[in-house]
Amino acid sequence: MSGTLSQSPQHETETEVNQLVNVTIAANTDTARNEEIAMAEKSKKHDDVTGKRKKHGKLPPSPLMEALTTVAHCCLAAFVLLILYLCFRHPFEFFTWHPLLLSIGWMLLMGEAILILSKENILRRKYKITHTLKLRLHWVPLTVAAVLIGIGFLIVTISKNRKNKYHYTSWHGLLGLIGVVTFIPPCINGVMTLYDKELRDYLNPRIVKLIHIITGVLSFACGGLSLILSVYTKWFDRRTNGNPYVFAFGLVMAILPVLWIVQRPLLKCVRNIYRLCSKEEDD
């Protein structure tokens, strides 16, 4: 009897300890289960986002951005059609080749070659353009544009020499010259960008691409400003008979696409510079 009584407190203590251990184990089990559920939900969200990015390349662009890009396409075509109309409205002259070739080469071909890289370009999604085809649709029009721009630049030089006029006396001519000169580096750098994998051991592909974007934007911006100022030239004024409505139409059709085309690569340059600086700080 005394032995049973002496063991009772010890038995109660062991029971309490076992209950405490069971409660602790149950709590740990619930915590682990909650953590697993949270991780599963997080993984599911990540998979959903990743799936969207795999499906669309990145998150799909907003309808507003796509609409503005479409407007830029239309403005490019409208400006070039206007110049073509003015070129053939009167008897064709030797100098007329200059606005004809420059509007097609600089505004249309170069502008569209840059827009094809934009994710807001609805043509890319509509026709499911692959990365390889996208690059080809970028450098082929630019190559043709370089030829047309070179010929147009040569024509205006010959024309002024024939008339014994001074060169680059206006902002239109000066910006055009800067645009032609700055068009050379992105052409050379573009070849390096196409073969960045082969040149990876010698050059940093990110830096090569960044230089290509910066020089390309500088060239198109200078040429675009020159085209905007072309509506102020005597040639445009004579061909339109000083019509203010045609002047305003040409000015707007030139300004809108140039601004829209330039803004996207500029933002990309800023992001790439930030990434390069962040990587250097981490290293």
Q: What is the 3-state secondary structure (H, E, C) of the chain?
A: CHHHHHHHHHHHHHHHHHHHHHHHHHHHHHHHHHHHHHHHHHHHHHHHHHHHHHHHCCCCCCHHHHHHHHHHHHHHHHHHHHHHHHHHHCCCCCCCHHHHHHHHHHHHHHHHHHHCCCCCCHHHHHCCCCHHHHHHHHHHHHHHHHHHHHHHHHHHHHHHHHCCCCCCCCHHHHHHHHHHHHCHHHHHHHHHHHCCCCCCCCCCHHHHHHHHHHHHHHHHHHHHHHHHHHHHCHHHHHHHCCCHHHHHHHHHHHHHHHHHHHHHHHHHHHHHHHHHHHHHHHC
CA 269 to chain centre: 9
Whether residues 107 and 238 share a domain: the answer is yes
Model pTM? Answer: 0.75
Of 33, 60, 87, which residue constitutes the final position of a domain?
60
Whether residues 37 and 120 share a domain: the answer is no
Identify the domain containing residue 158 by its residue range.
63-282
Q: Is the pLDDT of residue 127 over 80?
A: yes
Of 60, 83, 107, which residue constitutes the final position of a domain?
60
* Range from 4-13, 24-33, 182-191, 195-204 carrying the lowest mean pLDDT: 4-13
Of 21, 37, 60, which residue constitutes the final position of a domain?
60
CA distance 264 to 95: 34
Q: Is the pLDDT of residue 5 over 50?
A: no
Whether residues 5 and 72 share a domain: the answer is no
CA distance 44 to 131: 28
Q: How many independent structural domains does the chain possess?
A: 2
Whether residues 256 and 171 share a domain: the answer is yes
Output the pLDDT for position 81: 97
pLDDT in tens, 27-53: 566 565 666 666 666 555 545 544 544
Whether residues 54 and 75 share a domain: the answer is no
Percent of the chain clearing pLDDT 90 (strictly above): 50
Percent of the chain clearing pLDDT 70 (strictly above): 77
Per-chain mean pLDDT for the chain: 83
Output the pLDDT for position 61: 78
